[in-house]
């Protein structure tokens, strides 16, 4: 295939994720052999926006039970694309370390509608690729996805029970926090543990200087892998040297208060914090 790669990225609507967005785009274009088209998916107060949300009036997207400000957007991508072609979804907290055309040009097997990381009943859709036409028969109407605060969880459960619709791709297209692999083996690094995100030291400082707070309200720790911290910092510096600017990713008008689930008790993942029993000491030191 030589067509344009369509990328949909879930990100914050209050300028919290600017560093993530810039590194994602720079790293994506750095390695891409085909043209790419990025759609930033952010909650909006603009009624004409596909991502419009006015929770106090019960209009648009209902993010009440989402972990992030964009959790439920991924299920609407086939509808956004008018159920035509294919589309790749990814969270904003990724660094692309390979040519995205490799994933884009992977053929769908008969009967599969989405590619993701996993197997059996354990699947992760935080990086995924849709066959938009094939997905139409299996997704609820768009207004139901938007208006049902439980839609995100219902759809995760639906695919957990209909795994025959999912095609496993190379696990390195969604490498979670390194997973013990060297950097040169990783195709897409997803620094998924929100508490240890590689961008926090930059974004928290920037937001604090502006009198603002990050959307994540849980405890923040250093990522356990120094090489991944250095990798993010290097790509951030490269992007700036190449003429990228955080200003290019700022929204015209910040969304303001996001109605979503609190992450004050967020426990991260076993990759960054090790196997844990859930107690305070294991959370703090079992990383």
**Ordered DSSP codes for 51-73:** TBEEGGGTEE---TT-SSTTGGG
| Residue 55 pLDDT | 87
pLDDT for res 277: 45
> In a 10 Å sphere around its CB, with 0-12 CB exposed, 13-18 middle and 19+ buried, how is residue 8 labelled?
buried
Structure tokens at 286: 């079992």
Predicted confidence at residue 282, as pLDDT, reads: 33
The phi, psi pair for 3, rounded to 5°, reads -80, 175
> What local confidence, expressed as pLDDT, does residue 235 receive?
98
**Top-level class of domain 5-285:** alpha beta
pLDDT in tens, the chain (287 residues): 569 999 999 999 999 999 999 999 999 999 999 999 999 999 999 999 999 999 889 899 999 999 999 999 999 999 999 999 999 999 999 999 999 999 999 999 999 999 999 987 789 999 999 999 999 999 999 999 999 999 999 999 999 999 999 999 999 999 999 999 999 999 999 999 999 999 999 999 999 999 999 999 999 999 999 999 999 999 999 999 999 999 999 999 999 999 999 999 999 999 999 875 444 333 333 32
Q: Is the pTM of this model over 0.75?
A: yes
Ramachandran region, residue 25 (left: φ > 0; alpha: ψ -120 to 50; beta: rest): alpha
What pLDDT is recorded for position 283?
Answer: 34
Query: Could you tell me which of 27, 156, 165 has the C-alpha nearest to residue 93?
Result: 27
Q: Kind and range of the H or E element at 122?
A: strand 122-131
Q: Which has the closest alpha carbon to 35: 3, 82, 70? A: 3
Predicted local distance difference test score (pLDDT) of residue 276: 57
pLDDT of residue 160: 93
pLDDT of residue 1: 54
Is 6:39 a contact under the CB 8 Å cutoff? yes
Q: What angle do CA 69, 49, 85 make, to 5 degrees?
A: 90
**pLDDT value of position 287:** 24
pLDDT of 106 reads: 98
| 114 membership: H or E segment, kind and range | strand 114-119
């Amino acid at each position: 295939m030589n067509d344009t790669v369509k990328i949909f990225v879930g990100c914050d609507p209050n300028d919290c994720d600017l560093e993530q967005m810039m590194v994602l785009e720079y790293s994506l274009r750095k390695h891409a052999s085909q043209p790419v088209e990025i759609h930033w998916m952010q909650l909006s107060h603009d009624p004409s926006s596909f991502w419009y949300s006015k929770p106090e009036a019960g209009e648009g997207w209902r993010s009440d039970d989402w972990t992030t400000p964009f959790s439920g957007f991924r299920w609407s991508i086939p509808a956004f694309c008018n159920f035509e072609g294919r589309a790749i979804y990814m969270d904003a907290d990724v660094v692309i370390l390979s040519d995205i055309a490799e994933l884009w040009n992977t053929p769908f097997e008969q009967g599969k509608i989405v590619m993701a990381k996993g197997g059996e009943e354990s699947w992760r859709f935080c990086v995924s690729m849709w066959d938009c036409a094939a997905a139409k028969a299996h997704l609820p109407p768009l207004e139901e996805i938007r208006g049902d605060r439980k839609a995100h969880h219902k759809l995760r459960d639906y695919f957990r029970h209909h795994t025959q619709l999912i095609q496993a791709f190379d696990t390195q297209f969604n490498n979670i926090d390194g997973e013990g692999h060297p950097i040169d083996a990783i195709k897409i690094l997803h620094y998924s543990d929100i508490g240890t995100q590689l961008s926090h030291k930059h974004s928290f400082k920037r937001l604090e200087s502006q009198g603002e707070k990050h959307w994540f309200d849980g405890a923040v720790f250093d990522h356990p892998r120094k090489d991944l911290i250095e990798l993010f910092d290097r790509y951030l510096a490269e992007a700036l040297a190449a003429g990228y600017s955080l200003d290019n990713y700022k929204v015209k008008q910040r969304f303001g208060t996001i109605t979503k689930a609190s992450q004050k008790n967020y426990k991260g993942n076993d990759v960054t914090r090790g196997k844990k029993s859930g107690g305070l000491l294991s959370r703090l030191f079992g990383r």
